[in-house]
Structure 1
Amino acid sequence: MGTVTDYLAAREGENRTALEHVIAVARELAPDVTEGESYGMPALLYRGKGFVAVLEAKAHLGLYPFSGQVLPGLAAELGEFTWSPGALQFTAAHPVPDDLLRRILAERKAQIDARLDGKPR
């Protein structure tokens, strides 16, 4: 098991299900991700770079795309979610809609590809 798998295994109930869903969508969009750590968080790594982490806090769940540009670029679509440039807060009762989740993850993946392939983004 990797760090993400271990982290999720220690969660319970609806929160665990919501976190597992984000990870499942991330794995679908980037099947070659690996598990590791980024910024001290259990994370999926794409091409060795932090792709996404999801964590449970007391009052919410957090999605971390390891970029200060992805979420601001989608600000108009984030609606009633609480967010900062590096994190999006959600709950099991109010998850990130799949279409928005896919856009967040696709944008992060494209950033990593552009950086590693030397193409401006």
Structure 2
Amino acid sequence: MGAVTDYLAGIKAPNRQVLERIVAIARELAPGVEEGTSYGMPALLLDGKGFVSVLETKKHLALYPFSGQILGRLADELDGFSWSPGTLRFSAENPVPDELVRRILELRLAEIGA
């Protein structure tokens, strides 16, 4: 087990399934990711850098791409979601579509690879 797996195991359905789906997409796009922590959050790491973290908070679920640039580049696709430069907030009732998750993570992969 690892930090992300252990964290997700403690979350109740349906939030857990929504967050696990994002993690599964991340693992698909970057099979070499490792579990660890970044900025104190359970995270998937790539080449020692934070790739993505997903968390449950009292008011929402959140995706952290460890970049202040990516979400701003996708602002026109984020209608219906609350976001700031480093955080995308959503819920199990209004999850982030898989294709948008892929675009966010592909942009992060490109940043890490640059």
Q: Which runs of 5+ in 2 are unaligned?
A: none
Structure-to-structure mapping, 1:1-121, within 5 angstroms = 1-114=1-114
Q: Deviations over 1:11-51 (max 9, x none)?
A: 11100000100000000000000000000000000111000
Alignment-mate amino acid for residue 34 of structure 1: E
Deviation at 1:58, TM superposition (A): 1.0
Identity %: 65
Distance 2:69 2:21 in 1: 23
Number of matched pairs: 114
Q: Deviations over 1:62-100 (max 9, x none)?
A: 000000001001001111100000000010111101111
Distance 1:78 1:46 in 2: 25
Distance 2:86 2:78 in 1: 13
Structure 1 segments of 4+ aligned residues over 6 angstroms from their partners:
none
Between structure 1 and structure 2, the one with the greater Rg is: 1
> TM-score when scaled to structure 2?
0.99
Alignment-mate amino acid for residue 91 of structure 1: S
Alignment-mate amino acid for residue 42 of structure 1: P
Q: Which runs of 5+ in 1 are unaligned?
A: 115-121
Q: What RMSD, in angstroms, separates the aligned Cα atoms of the two structures?
A: 0.5
Q: Which residue of 2 aligns with 1:118?
A: none
